[in-house]
Structures are given as structure tokens and as C-alpha cells.
Chain A
């Protein structure tokens, strides 16, 4: 069964304290690993898509990387406005049922 897990469940950082979020996946025939940011009470906002092991993408203080079993979201020198829940999803070939979402990591950055 296809599955995506994320760790830690929650993470508290001081402003400027860099860290990484983990997304582990077992998705047969993975076709893309997707990262989203979700603020409380709002819909997820798309961040990145990674397609192959070794690929990296960056956006401001965020960098996403992909291996054959995991993806990491690295946050460098975070600011309080980076506080949110970060979701990852494995993409698969089957149309419609094509995303498997993880439960998310709730990040809090304290000033």
C-alpha cells in the first residue's frame, strides 16, 4: 500500500535556527514528490515538485531535496513568518487517485 509519512509531527525553532523536515514515502512508481505550505484555516499553497533522486529546488529560505526513499525540506535561518504546516505528497500514475498525502509537520518559529 502506498504511504507517505512525515517527521517530526511538530517542530519549534528559534528565529535563525536552521533545521530539516523529513518526508518518507513508499509509493510504487513514484511520479513526483510535491511539497505544500498550509497556514491555519487556509488551503495548501504549492511550493515544489521534485521528479528524480538527487534533484534539488530552492525558494527563499527553503530547499527541497529528494532521494529514492525520502525527501527533505531544509529551512535556513527561518523567520516567524515561516511558521506553518508543511505537507508532502507522493504523485503516482493512477489518474485521479494520483496524490498520497502525508499528515504534515507543524513548524513554529519563535522570535
Chain B
């Protein structure tokens, strides 16, 4: 089955730690995205990537970093510089033609202890 997987489903972080969220897709999509979702707010774009080894900042990139070494994978690192990291993180992918429907993974809920 084609789709997007994210792991872990739940993640707990102590203050001062960096953590990495995994996102993998087998849809053969070129574009991948990371969003953050907070209660009562729309999804906000953190980073996106159109092609391997290239990525761009979204609206709220501060305190986050990404890599795109393979077409199928787009991991997100939440660094200790992110002041309020507790949120629900969603990874999505789409074909390259813009705009086009994005398909989402199941999400990772990050909680800072």
C-alpha cells in the first residue's frame, strides 16, 4: 500500500534535548512538507522540499532543521532552540505541480516534559 508513515506516534522530550521525527513516503512524490498543528489554529508550514538535497523554510522554521538525502525520507529535528515545541507534527507529500492535494501521514505528538 502506498502512503506516508511517521514515527514515533508519541515522543517525549526533556528541555534542552534535540529530537528527530521520522517521515517516509512510498508514493514517489517529489515534494514533502512538515507542518505543526496547535489547538484552534490552522496547520503552519515549518519546512518543505521539492527535490533531494534541497529544502526551504516555511513560516515557522526557527528552532527546527530538516534534511532530504533520499526522495522517500524527510526527517525533522526539533532543536533545543525551539521555545515551545509541544504540538502535533504532520508530514505531507504531493506531486510537484503546484498547488496539488497534499497527502498526510498519521502525525507525531511531541510533548516537552
| A interface with B by C-beta (< 8 Å) | 4, 9, 31-32, 34, 36, 41-46, 49, 87, 89, 91-104
Contacts and interface: CB of A to CB of B under 8 A. Distances in A.
Contacts of A31: 98-99
B40 interface: yes
A96 B48 contact: yes
Interface of B: 4, 6, 31, 33, 40-45, 48, 50, 56, 58-59, 88, 90, 92, 98-107, 109
A95 B50 contact: yes
Residue among B40, B42, B102 with the highest chain A CB neighbour number at 10 A: B42
B101 A49 contact: yes
A101 B45 CA distance: 10
A43 B50 contact: no
A104 B90 contact: no
B40 A97 contact: no
Nearest to A102: B42
A103 B40 contact: yes
B59 to A, nearest CB: 8
B46 to A, nearest CB: 11
A23 to B, nearest CB: 11
A92 B41 CA distance: 19
5 contacts: A41-B107, A43-B92, A44-B104, A94-B98, A96-B45
Given A46-B101, A103-B41, 20 more contacts: A9-B40, A31-B98, A31-B99, A34-B99, A34-B101, A36-B104, A41-B88, A41-B109, A42-B106, A42-B107, A43-B6, A43-B92, A43-B107, A46-B103, A89-B43, A95-B50, A97-B45, A98-B98, A99-B99, A102-B42
